Amino acid sequence: MDTVIETDRLTKTYRGARGIDDVSLSVQRGEVFGFLGPNGAGKTTTVRTLLDLLHPTSGSASLFGLDSRRDSRAIRARLGNLPGEFACDPRRSGRELLTFLAALRGLPGLGRAAELAERFSADLDRPTGELSRGNRQKIGLVQALFHAPELLILDEPTGGLDPLMQEQFHEVVAEERERGATVLLSSHDLDEVQRLCDRVAIIRDGRLIAVEHIAELTRRRYRHVSVELAQAIDADELRALPGVRDVELDGGRKARFGVAAAELDGVVKALARHTVVDLELEHPSLEEIFLTYYAPAERDS
């Protein structure tokens, strides 16, 4: 498996203000890679730096093994991009935009634009200024995909789409992966990322704080434990156990709490000193995991 995107200590500052700081990551060919973070965390700055719209302050990025600055044109010939705030001349129709972009790419026609437009129910013939945000977003998706690029960079791709179209988009991404394309999906929609992505990078305050496989992330971090005991248990006894947090007692005999995956063994052994009537372990959702990454920063602020 070869590397399609690689950044090495990529840093971008704006007139002294933070953009991104020391971002190092790699995305493999054929991978759907999620880029998670709240607004202002640095997702769009990273994407725009990869596209050479922004020039890095320090560090480097390569796509397809080519330097993002020196070989930008060759790189851009092989990718499709949906910007976070997709915009185009409101006087022009989607078809006119696609014709222009096809000419810039040296393509003889509009590729699979008609098929994609049909799938997304996109109106290619009305001026984009007359379309709703969701319908403009569909044009944005068509222009990112119509030339069958090797790499898709999608920044908040489902913003404004109705649930039916979101579903359609998820199917298209799955097909793109099947085709062998690589997808960098920047989003703050955790369900979408959990559903579509193989791996995810989490960015906070411009710094990358985790890069993990989705499955590993949800498996390794912590578990929700729901336990019912034959006798009442003291909440402090549970709180004293290593790795245990957020203890909630329900009537004294039932308890629910979170436990770090690494400390699970100790918790089970401690519970075994009581008579256990029922025990249930649950993996947390990506959203809960995401919040654990952000909670310290929020507490600090």
Residues that bind another protein (CB under 8 A): 48, 51-55, 64, 73-74, 76-81, 83, 85-89, 91, 97, 100-101, 103-106, 112, 115-116, 118-119, 140, 143, 145, 148, 150, 153, 172, 175-176, 178-181
Q: How far apart are CA 190 and CA 193, in angstroms?
A: 5
Closest CB to another protein among residues 69, 256 = 69
In the complex, least distance from residue 54 CB atom to another protein, rounded to whole angstroms: 5
Residues 269 and 259: their CA atoms lie apart, in Å, by 13
DSSP assignment letter at 109: S
Handedness of CA 97, 99, 105, 110 (dihedral sign): positive
> Of the two residues 88 and 286, which places its CB atom closer to another protein in the complex?
88
**Rounded Cα distance, 87 and 44, in Å:** 15
Q: Which residue has the tokens 């654990």?
A: 292
For another protein, the closer of residues 82 and 208 by Cβ is 82
Reference 137, options 173, 169, 101, 184; nearest CA is 169
Contact 151, 123 (CB under 8 A): no
Minimum CB–partner distance for residue 38 and another protein (Å): 21
Least separation in angstroms between residue 90's CB and another protein is 9
Min separation Cβ 87 and another protein, Å: 3
Is 14 or 280 the residue whose CB approaches another protein more closely? 14
How many residues are listed for the chain in this entry?
301
Q: Tell me the backbone φ, ψ of residue 26, rounded to 5 degrees.
A: -140, 145
Three-state DSSP at 25 gives strand
In terms of CB distance, is 19 or 258 closer to another protein? 19
Closest distance to another protein from the beta carbon of 29 (Å): 8
Task: Decide whether 175 or 216 has the Cβ nearer to another protein.
Answer: 175
In the complex, what is the shortest distance from the CB of residue 115 to another protein, in angstroms, rounded to a whole number?
A: 5
The edge-to-edge listing of strands for the beta sheet with 182-187 is: 79-82, 151-155, 182-187, 32-36, 199-204, 207-213
